[in-house]
């Protein structure tokens, strides 16, 4: 099976590249070779590489910057996602699109289900929701995977920031009134491969098409996430760092973060028979890996 992945440098794309094997070939392309805001560029990439499944992992992910660059966010996350889906449809291929918890307002008391009302509170969330709409409209053979709090050994992310801070600080202040699920990029990559195989295996199954929530098991706060990182670091002989819980109001940002980023994954697990590992398991693996290399 050959996957064409858009967005070579992103965390998910890098994790997919790391999974490449004799059974799964991964071609990951980013700008300038593949620019998803240019439909012709996507068409050329598909024609050249002849994939079995197209994975759209390219995204504008600067959540705060999107507040002042909404057009740029929509160009990539909205129109760009639509281009990828349309090109895949023209080639008769399924598309897997990576989306986010930011499509919700974050004010629900329980974990969000796929059929809950959306209501993004910022430009980034609005652009990602528009991308979902364009993907669904352009290609009925789609799986839209909403995930959250992505981290891993590649790129910039919360876990790596905490590890860097541990080198110079004994205490870190972290928001404790936002709840969600840290989700390890390599686990996302393995799940995407499972979805791709299922889409190919059952090309006519409507149960495998649509929107799915795909995050690790369990939940925590950003402060709890940080505590888990430092606990794993200390257990491996690293420095002990204290986490001081603060409120969202204590750490203002241009873009509003969802207070509740929890996603109900029961539909995903039922459809694909794939269970994501616990978030704590991913943290342990990631800290163990990064402790051997510079953060």
- pLDDT tens sequence across 179-200: 999 999 999 999 999 999 999 9
Q: How many folded domains does the chain comprise? A: 1
User: Residue 34: what pLDDT?
Assistant: 97
Q: Is 232 domain-assigned?
A: no
User: Residue 291: what pLDDT?
Assistant: 84
User: Residue 293: what pLDDT?
Assistant: 60
User: Residue 180: what pLDDT?
Assistant: 98
User: CATH number, domain at 128?
Assistant: 3.40.50.720
Residue pair 213/149 in contact by the 8 Å Cβ criterion:
no
DSSP designation for 293: S
The tens digit of pLDDT for each residue in 49-87 reads: 999 999 999 999 999 999 999 999 999 999 999 999 999
Which of the residues in the chain have pLDDT under 50?
none
User: Residue 130: what pLDDT?
Assistant: 98
Question: Which among 60, 102, 112, 124 is annotated as catalytic?
Answer: 124
User: Residue 295: what pLDDT?
Assistant: 54
SS3 letters across 249-285: HHCCCCCCCCCECCECCHHHHHHHCCCCCEHHHHHHH
Q: Is 205 domain-assigned?
A: yes
Count of C-beta atoms within a 10 Å radius of residue 285: 17
Q: Is 59 domain-assigned?
A: yes
Would the pTM of this model clear 0.85, i.e. be above it?
A: yes
Q: Is 175 domain-assigned?
A: no
Rounded CA gap, 86 and 135, in Å? 7
- Asked if omega into 32 is within 30° of 0 (cis), the reply is yes
124 is catalytic: yes
Q: Is 246 domain-assigned?
A: no
Q: Is 132 domain-assigned?
A: yes
Residue pair 244/175 in contact by the 8 Å Cβ criterion:
no
Q: Is 247 domain-assigned?
A: no
Rounded CA gap, 128 and 118, in Å? 11
C-alpha angle with apex 286: 280 to 288, nearest 5 degrees? 105
User: Residue 141: what pLDDT?
Assistant: 98
Q: What domain range is 135 assigned to? A: 2-156+182-217+262-277
Q: Is 241 domain-assigned?
A: no
Residue pair 142/85 in contact by the 8 Å Cβ criterion:
yes
Rounded CA gap, 291 and 106, in Å? 33
């Amino acid at each position: 099976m050959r996957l064409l992945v858009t967005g070579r440098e992103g965390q998910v794309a890098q994790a997919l590249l790391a999974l490449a094997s004799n059974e799964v070939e991964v071609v990951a392309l980013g700008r300038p070779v593949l620019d998803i805001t240019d439909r012709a560029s996507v068409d050329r990439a598909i024609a050249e590489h002849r994939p079995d499944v197209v994975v759209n992992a390219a995204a504008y992910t600067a959540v705060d910057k999107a507040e002042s660059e909404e057009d740029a966010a929509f160009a990539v996350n909205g129109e760009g996602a639509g281009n990828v889906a349309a090109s895949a449809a023209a080639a008769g291929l399924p598309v897997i699109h990576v989306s986010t918890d930011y499509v919700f307002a974050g004010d629900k008391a329980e974990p969000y289900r796929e059929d809950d009302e959306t209501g993004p509170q910022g430009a980034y969330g609005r652009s990602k929701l528009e991308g979902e709409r364009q993907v669904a409209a352009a290609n009925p053979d789609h799986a839209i995977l909403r995930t959250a709090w992505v981290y891993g050994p590649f790129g910039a992310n919360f876990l790596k920031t905490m590890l860097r801070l541990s080198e110079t600080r004994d205490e870190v202040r972290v928001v404790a009134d936002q709840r969600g699920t840290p989700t390890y990029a390599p686990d996302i990559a393995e799940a995407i491969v499972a979805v791709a195989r299922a889409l190919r295996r059952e090309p006519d199954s409507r149960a495998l098409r649509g929107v799915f929530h795909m995050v690790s098991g369990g939940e925590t706060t950003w402060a709890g996430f940080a505590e888990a990182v430092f606990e794993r670091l200390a257990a491996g002989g690293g420095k002990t760092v204290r986490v001081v819980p603060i409120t969202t109001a204590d750490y203002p940002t241009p873009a509003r973060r969802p207070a509740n980023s929890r996603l109900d994954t029961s539909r995903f697990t039922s459809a694909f028979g794939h269970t994501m590992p616990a978030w704590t398991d991913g943290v342990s693996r990631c800290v163990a890996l990064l402790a051997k290399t510079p953060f």
